[in-house]
Amino acid sequence: MNISFFTPPLVEGPKIAFFVPLPKFLHQVPLAMDVGNGEFGLPVTMTVVGSWFCMLILFLIFKLGTRKLEIIPKTKLQILLESLLVFLDNLIFQSLGKYKDKFISFISCLFLFILSGNILTFFPIPWFSNLGDGGIKLYPAFRTPTADLNTTVGLALLTSIVFIGTNIKQSGLIGYIKGFASPVPILLPLNIVGEIAKPINMSFRLFGNMFAGMVIMGLLYKAAPAVVPAPLHLYFDLFSGVVQSFVFVMLSIVHIQSSLGDSVKD
């Protein structure tokens, strides 16, 4: 049996994994694509599949870890989850103070999803397809969701909704708009650009780092035997993935803290 290993293209858009069939009356909806034989469907990309897989893994981990909770933890999984909670609790409390409880759920979910997405390709999860001549083609089952700009822009916009909504709740809509002319009206254009730049900066920073790491690893695999670049996954997938997750979350906390203003110190 002939087995060949396949390295995905270095620069590609989100590859379509499968189509969700649509009834005839929905053929004209946005994003519907002709899949042949007069059938239409909604495309589901590898980014979406990877995101679903990360959410499934997180759900299973927390379902198992909280199934039999004990005051004194007896299982390693409960100890690990409690340590993670204490870490995030202290991190958020240091910046948001008394507002910690309002944002800990959002920040924790954001961190865990980005972290799991960043390090997804560190784990060698293979997939295969039949070449038709008795051979099998092996390739990575998933693509890093955060190496897709659609994912990072969505996360950045979600964070923007949170800190802008917080700002409006603290200062009121009129106060939020007036804030763009502070401390002097001449800074109005710069303040507007700065507000728009926040989600752009966050999304492109995460996307750029994760996509660059994927491209570098792809180049190394094409230039050298697999055993040579393999250890570098420790840096480009694991270490860099953890760092970028932490950076994104810290930027989110900083923007939320800025929206809360001086009331954090009260």
Three-class SS state of 127: strand
Range of the domain at 238: 3-265
C-beta neighbour count of 120 within 10 angstroms: 24
Which residue matches tokens 């390709």?
121
As a whole number of angstroms, the distance between CA 61 and CA 80 comes to 11
As a whole number of angstroms, the distance between CA 238 and CA 87 comes to 19
Q: What is the DSSP letter of 72?
A: S
Average pLDDT (101-113) is 93
Residue 199, both tokens: 């989600």
Instruction: Tell me which H or E stretch contains 129.
Output: strand 126-130
pLDDT tens for residues 58-99? 999 999 888 888 888 888 888 889 999 898 898 888 888 889
Radius of gyration of the chain (CA): 22
The total number of structural domains in the chain stands at: 1
pLDDT above 90 covers a percentage of the chain that reads 37
As a whole number of angstroms, the distance between CA 228 and CA 253 comes to 39
Q: Model-level pTM?
A: 0.87
Three-class SS state of 12: coil
- CB distance 32 to 26 below 8 Å: yes
In the sheet where 33-36 sits, what is the strand order? 16-21, 39-45, 33-36
C-beta neighbour count of 166 within 10 angstroms: 21
pLDDT tens for residues 30-55? 878 888 777 888 888 888 989 999 99
128 pLDDT higher than 80: no
In the sheet where 126-130 sits, what is the strand order? 3-5, 136-140, 126-130
262 pLDDT higher than 80: no
Strand partners, 129: 137
Q: Are strands 3-5 and 136-140 parallel, antiparallel or unpaired?
A: parallel
As a whole number of angstroms, the distance between CA 33 and CA 12 comes to 19
Range with the poorest average pLDDT among 74-78, 111-115, 132-136, 242-246: 132-136
pLDDT tens for residues 159-206? 999 999 999 999 899 999 998 988 888 989 999 999 999 999 999 999
pLDDT tens for residues 7-26? 554 455 567 778 888 888 88
What's the pLDDT score for residue 56?
95
Q: Is the dihedral of CA 233, 237, 238, 243 positive or negative?
A: positive
pLDDT tens for residues 214-251? 888 878 877 777 777 778 888 888 999 999 999 999 99
Q: Is the dihedral of CA 236, 228, 222, 3 positive or negative?
A: negative
